[in-house]
Amino acid sequence: MMLQIVGASILLIGTFVCMFGAIGLLRLPNFFARTHGASITDTLGATLCLVGMLVFTFGMDESLKVNLLVVVKLISIGVFLLVTSPIAGHALTRAAYRKGLGGDGAPDLEDVAKLPFGIHGPADVTERLEGGQKWLPPEARVDSTLPSDHPINKPETMDNSEQGSTPTGEGEQS
Amino acid sequence: MIDPIASNLLFVSTITVLMTMLLAIVRAFMGPSVYDRILAVNMFGTKTVILIGVLGYLTGRPAFLDIALVYALMNFITTIAVLRYSDFEESPEPNPNADQEVV
């Protein structure tokens, strides 16, 4: 009977984690933050609940075969949830980002992969993104915070880079 | 036989999971974008799996876990199917004028 109480307690903790994630899903300000809240419930909350059920199963006075069958089912549910929930969350976030939910100046995912620091790049890159200006691809970008032989600073655009604060030549370059 | 203290704990867990599902369904109804609704429905499905498992233990029939497993499979398939529909609803082929656009 002690194992039952321990298992039910772990299960209760897991459901409370799920409820905190649901509060985050309801109250966080934008979509990507809400994705964080929902992902917590899918990994930590569901795992704690399934571990609680597993401990609870060992406290039940059934025969060993029945308990073993239940344990196999629980482990298969856990493995399946742990594999599929992050995949579904990733696909959802990627689809939302490609649909333009990241804002007007959000860069393409292929261009983000080429940035040296990701989307949280050097300061003037984020200024360009937040200023409502058009985002420049890495070929047309002049970045003074990087060394001049970095492949982002192309030789034909290096001539404009003595100020470095504002992007020069946005529309004329192609 | 189920211990009465463990039975009470399972009952509180059931109530908590139901409140979680209520919060998720509120977000699914008021979500400003389609993706918020898909996210909330996905979380609702995961919590359905947990709820069926807890109810199975509460009523002393852990064979409910088969139904929970089926729900977990169906939830993933539903999310991916809705995402594919919403991802390709405009035009799956690339824009032929993509390389002539001024950046």
For residues A65 and A15, what is the distance between their CA atoms, to the nearest angstrom? 28
pLDDT tens for A48-96 read 999 999 999 988 877 888 888 899 999 999 999 999 999 888 888 888 8
- Using CA atoms, how far residue B100 sits from A28, A148, B96, B103, in Å, is 40, 29, 9, 9
The pLDDT of residue A95 is: 83
**Least confident range of A5-14, A89-98, A156-165, B37-46:** A156-165
Query: Chain A: nearest CA to B40, how far in angstroms?
Result: 8
Residue A42's nearest CA partner among A27, A23, A22 is A22
**Least confident range of A2-6, A165-169, B36-40:** A165-169
Whether A96 sits inside 8 A of B47 (CB atoms) is: no
**In terms of CA atoms, which chain B residue is nearest residue A174?**
B102
Low-confidence residues of chain B, pLDDT below 70?
87-103
Query: Chain B: nearest CA to A106, how far in angstroms?
Result: 13
pLDDT tens for A21-59 read 999 999 988 888 899 999 989 899 999 999 999 999 988
What residues 27-66 of chain A have any CB closer than 8 A to a CB of chain B? 31, 34-35, 38, 41-42, 45-46, 49-50, 53, 56-57, 59-61
User: Is the pLDDT at A163 greater than 60, yes or no?
Assistant: no
Burial class (CB in 10 A: 0-12, 13-18, 19+), A168: middle
Whether B33 sits inside 8 A of A101 (CB atoms) is: yes
pTM higher than 0.90: no
Whether B3 sits inside 8 A of A4 (CB atoms) is: yes
Within chain B, residue ranges assigned H as helices are: 4-30, 34-58, 65-87
Within chain A, residue ranges assigned H as helices are: 2-27, 31-40, 46-58, 64-98, 109-114, 123-130
B16 φ, ψ to 5°? -65, -40
Rg over CA atoms, chain A:
25
**In terms of CA atoms, which chain A residue is nearest residue B90?**
A99
Q: Provide DSSP, A23-54.
A: HHHHH-SSHHHHHHHHHHIIIIIHHHHHHHHH
- Using CA atoms, how far residue A72 sits from A3, A77, A125, in Å, is 18, 9, 51
Instruction: Write down the ipTM of this complex.
Output: 0.80
CB A8 within 8 A of CB A56: yes
Whether A4 sits inside 8 A of B6 (CB atoms) is: yes
Whether B103 sits inside 8 A of A88 (CB atoms) is: no
Residue A165's nearest CA partner among A121, A124, A105 is A124
Q: If phi over 0 gives left and psi between -120 and 50 gives alpha, with beta otherwise, what is residue A42?
A: alpha
